[in-house]
Structure 1
Amino acid sequence: MEEHIGSRIYKIRKHFNLSMEKFGKQIGISKGSINNIEKGTTNPSSQTINSICREFNVDYVWLTEGIGDDMFISIPDSKIDQLIEDYGLKPEDKWLVRGYLEAPPDIKQQVADYLWSIVNRELAKREKEKSNKK
C-alpha cells in the first residue's frame, strides 16, 4: 500500500517531537487539521505543504510524492563556505553555521532569544553608564 502525504507529515512531526497543536501553530493551521491530514481524511493545501517545507527544511518532492530517502534538504557546503568567507569566520565555525541553519524553528528561536538577551543586557549596561555620567 502506498504511503499518503499525511503519514509523511506525521513522520516530520514526530521527528521534531512536536504535538499536533505545536506543529500546526508553526505552519498556521489547527490541531484538528493536522489530525485530519495525518489520518488521510483530508489533503493539505499547497500553502500548508509550502509552509512545512519552509519551516522544517523538508524536501518538497519527498513530502508530496514520497520520492527519495531523505525527508530533509541539506544546505550545500558551497553556500555555507561562502558565508564563512564573507563574514571572516573560522573554518571550524562551519558546523555552528550549518547547525543553526538546519535547526528546527523552535531551536532557532531559542538561540535568537539567548542572543537578544545578551544584546539587551549590553544595551541596558550602556544606558546605565550614560545616565551615571550625567
Structure 2
Amino acid sequence: MNKRLKSLRKSLGLNQKEMGYRLKLSQTHISSLENGARELTDRIISDICRVFNVNKNWLHTGEGDMFVQSATFSLDEYAQKNQLTELELDIIKSYMDLNKEVRQSILNTAQQIFGKHAETTATVDEIDVEIAHYRSELETEKKTRTLSASQRRETS
C-alpha cells in the first residue's frame, strides 16, 4: 500500500508537502507512509480516497483502476432525451465555450430580466387581490343600498 501511495502522489503531480497539506498531514508523515516506516490508518485511507477520488480497492490491493470512475454526463444524450433542437444544443455548447467572465455577465443579465419579471408578476398578483377586495366592497355597498331602499319602501 505504501508504494501505491507514492504512485498515486506522482500521478497527481504532487510533492510530499502538497499531498500532506491536502490530507492535513506533514511532509514527514507522508514520507514515512511512503517508505513504510508508518502504516496507513483507516482514517488516512478514507481521507486519501475522499480527497483524491481514489478507488479504495486499488489502494488496498492494487487491483482495478486507481481512481473511482465518476458518473459521466453526455450533453448529446441529455439533448436527445429532452428532445432539444439543433439550435438549442448549439446555444448550450456555445455558452459553455465562453470564458467564465462572459458567462457570469450573461447570468447577471438573465437574473436582472427574470428578477424584474418576478417583481412584475408579484405586482400583478397584488393588483388582482386588491381588485377582488374592491369588488367585494362594491357588492356589499350595493346590497346595503338595495336593502336600505327596500326598507324605506316598506316603512312608507
Instruction: Name the residue aligned to 2:43.
Output: 47
Give me the TM-score of the superposition, normalised by structure 1.
0.55
Instruction: Name the residue aligned to 2:67.
Output: 72
Query: Structure 1 CA distance, aligned partners of 2:15 and 2:42?
Result: 22
Instruction: Name the residue aligned to 2:5.
Output: 9
Q: What amino acid does structure 1 have at the position aligned with 2:70?
A: I
Structure number with higher helix proportion: 2
CA displacement at 1:56 relative to structure 2: 1.2
Q: Aligned pair count?
A: 93
CA displacement at 1:46 relative to structure 2: 1.3
SS of aligned partner of 1:75: coil
CA displacement at 1:57 relative to structure 2: 1.2
Query: Structure 1 CA distance, aligned partners of 2:24 and 2:50?
Result: 12
Distance 1:90 1:57, change over 3 A: farther
Could you list the runs of 4 or more consecutive aligned residues of structure 1 that deviate by over 6 angstroms after TM superposition? none
Query: Structure 1 CA distance, aligned partners of 2:89 and 2:22?
Result: 33
* Pair member with larger Rg: 2
Q: What amino acid does structure 1 have at the position aligned with 2:42?
A: S
Instruction: Name the residue aligned to 2:153.
Output: none
When the two chains are superposed, the root-mean-square deviation of aligned CA atoms in Å is 3.5
CA displacement at 1:65 relative to structure 2: 2.1
Which of 12, 19, 22 in structure 2 is aligned with 1:23?
19
Query: Structure 2 CA distance, aligned partners of 1:47 and 1:28?
Result: 11
Instruction: Using CA pairs under 8 Å that are at least 6 residues apart, name the structure with larger relative contact order, 1 or 2.
Output: 1
SS of aligned partner of 1:29: coil
CA displacement at 1:90 relative to structure 2: 5.0
Gaps of 5+ in 2: 79-83, 106-156
Distance 1:90 1:72, change over 3 A: farther
Per-residue CA distance 1:56-83 (angstroms, 9 max, x = gap): 1110010022222x21111133xx259x
CA displacement at 1:48 relative to structure 2: 1.1
Instruction: Name the residue aligned to 2:31.
Output: 35
Q: What amino acid does structure 1 have at the position aligned with 2:37?
A: T
Which of 54, 57, 72 in structure 1 is aligned with 2:53?
57
Q: What amino acid does structure 2 have at the position aligned with 1:15?
A: S
